[in-house]
């Protein structure tokens, strides 16, 4: 959004109704389509409308390949003189926060929301009650942002709108609210954040107007698929809408044809009346001379054309979604392992693009979490903020082959043992590595050597 003048206090809610309406309408259209409301126009009386919700299945499939397992993180030293113990402390603290709030589940849900709507967001704040950072997914339909003209990825202002009950609002903001503003109905809360100040309105009443305790805007906003030269992203559904609607219409047409063919139409020629004539088992008809009766064939070559067209739509659906049929466990033919990898390569490339977006999300979000842990949690982290995500393999792999490969990389010094453990699926590499060291020390006390060198 372009820079705009802030309204006077108490008028943010009304002002937001006119801000970025095109994006909000797009969100609602995509959400409706994902939920199965895919036909256009009003339904006619007695009309049948079939919905084959491939859109939802394909979106879920891509997210499942994107995040098959929790992501772990390496904390990178800012300078060479940072002690190794401090780096490990930062890694353990970051992992402990994410484990406690089950961040992987929240990330999967946020990735799904972003794939449907086109954008995703997190709010990163400090909780005095829990004495830890809080990383909460945010509905982008309740979020507005303004960014630096020379750096679109840096936002200098963000506004979040949501609704709460009066009792919840009082608990959140720690002060009794004017009864005239609430009653028993939900209240509209507006949070307006700048790097130096923030303001909170509840149903038009300003309840907080104070200095920002963090010094930065506490939101991480990311696009599902970046649009050229734009801040907000594109939904995975954009290329599928027309194909899905056409597929629904063609399948409905085929359903009608099959329904009619199940109740065949009797055609009589040179007959003045049809009284007593019934198309049923054992029926005997007496027809006048030169007359003829037959059943109308609704399953001739016409339905074959419909089926061919449906197959064509089906292929286009997989092409546009970059999700080959192989991703569903059925390639339709016998292929070698290499050939299967080549066939599923479009999905791998799609997931790789999404992971590049999430690399930036994790880098920014982890930096905020580490900053909160050091400033508000009191951890001596020596200013460590940079992290590197360790992703699991996109495709199922031969574990024995993966272990051999990681062993060679560790032996050659390319990967650390901790990094190899994370790649092999260990959810807590630090704890596992500590167990290895403890076991090695115990074995050395009884005279056994060679644990860490492979002996």
Going 447 to 450 to 452 to 455, the CA torsion angle's sign is negative
Range from 141-145, 226-230, 334-338 carrying the lowest mean pLDDT: 334-338
Place of tokens 């590049």: 356
C-beta separation of 263 from 295 below 8 A: no
Rama region for 145: left / alpha / beta (φ>0; ψ in -120 to 50; rest):
beta
Place of tokens 């007959």: 271
| Per-residue buried b or exposed e for 129-157, using 16+ beta carbons within 10 Å of the residue's own CB | eeebbbbebbbbebbbbbbeeeeeeebbb
Place of tokens 């070698």: 336
CA distances from 330 to 207, 273, 315, 326 (A): 58, 55, 14, 5
Place of tokens 């979106």: 59
Tell me phi and psi for residue 177, to 5 degrees.
-100, 155
C-beta separation of 159 from 191 below 8 A: yes
Q: Over range 117-140, report the average pLDDT.
A: 95
Residue 398 confidence (pLDDT) above 60: no
Position 123 scores a pLDDT of 97
pLDDT tens, position by position, 211-255 = 999 999 999 999 999 998 889 999 999 999 999 999 999 999 888
Position 279 scores a pLDDT of 64
The span from the CA of 15 to the CA of 437, in Å, is 60
- Give the confidence band of 304 by pLDDT, cuts at 50, 70, 90: confident
Helix, coil or strand: residue 211: strand
């Amino acid at each position: 959004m372009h820079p705009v003048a802030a309204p006077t206090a108490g008028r943010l809610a009304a002002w937001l109704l006119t801000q970025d309406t095109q994006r909000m309408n797009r969100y609602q259209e995509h959400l409706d389509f994902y939920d199965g409301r895919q036909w256009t126009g009003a339904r006619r009386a007695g009309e049948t409308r079939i919905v084959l919700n491939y859109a939802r299945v394909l979106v879920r499939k891509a997210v499942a390949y994107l995040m098959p397992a929790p992501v772990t993180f390496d904390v990178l030293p800012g300078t060479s003189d940072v002690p190794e113990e401090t780096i490990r402390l930062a890694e353990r603290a970051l992992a402990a926060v994410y484990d406690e709030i089950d961040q992987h589940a929240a990330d999967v849900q946020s990735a799904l929301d972003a794939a449907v709507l086109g954008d995703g967001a997190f709010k990163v704040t400090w909780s005095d009650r829990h004495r830890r950072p809080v990383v909460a997914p945010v509905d982008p339909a309740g979020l507005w942002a303004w960014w630096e003209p020379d750096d679109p990825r840096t936002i200098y202002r963000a506004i979040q709108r949501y609704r709460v009950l009066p009792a919840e609002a009082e608990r959140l903001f720690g002060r009794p609210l004017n009864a005239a503003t609430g009653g028993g109905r939900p209240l509209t809360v507006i949070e307006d954040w700048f790097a130096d100040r923030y303001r909170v309105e509840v149903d038009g009443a300003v309840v907080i107007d104070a200095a920002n305790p963090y010094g930065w805007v506490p939101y991480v906003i990311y696009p599902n698929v970046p649009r050229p030269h734009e801040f907000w992203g594109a939904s995975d559904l954009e290329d599928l809408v027309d194909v899905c609607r056409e597929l629904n219409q063609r399948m409905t047409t085929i359903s009608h044809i099959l329904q009619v063919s199940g109740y065949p139409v009797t055609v009589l020629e040179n007959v003045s009346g049809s009284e007593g004539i019934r198309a049923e088992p054992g029926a005997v008809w007496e027809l006048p001379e030169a007359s003829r009766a037959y059943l109308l064939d609704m399953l001739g070559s016409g339905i074959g054309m419909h089926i061919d067209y449906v197959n064509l739509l089906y292929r286009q659906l997989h092409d546009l979604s970059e999700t080959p049929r192989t991703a569903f466990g059925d390639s339709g033919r016998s292929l070698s392992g290499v050939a299967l990898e080549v066939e599923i390569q479009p999905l791998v490339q799609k997931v790789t693009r999404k992971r590049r977006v999430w690399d930036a999300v994790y880098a920014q979000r982890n930096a905020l979490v580490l900053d909160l842990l050091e400033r508000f949690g009191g951890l001596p982290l020596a200013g460590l903020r940079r992290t590197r995500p360790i992703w699991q393999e996109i495709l199922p792999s031969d574990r024995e082959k993966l272990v051999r490969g990681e062993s060679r990389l560790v032996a050659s010094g390319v990967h650390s043992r901790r990094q190899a453990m994370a790649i092999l699926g260990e959810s807590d590499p630090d704890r596992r590595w500590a167990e290895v060291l403890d076991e090695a020390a115990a074995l050395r006390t009884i005279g056994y050597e060679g644990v860490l060198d492979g002996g």
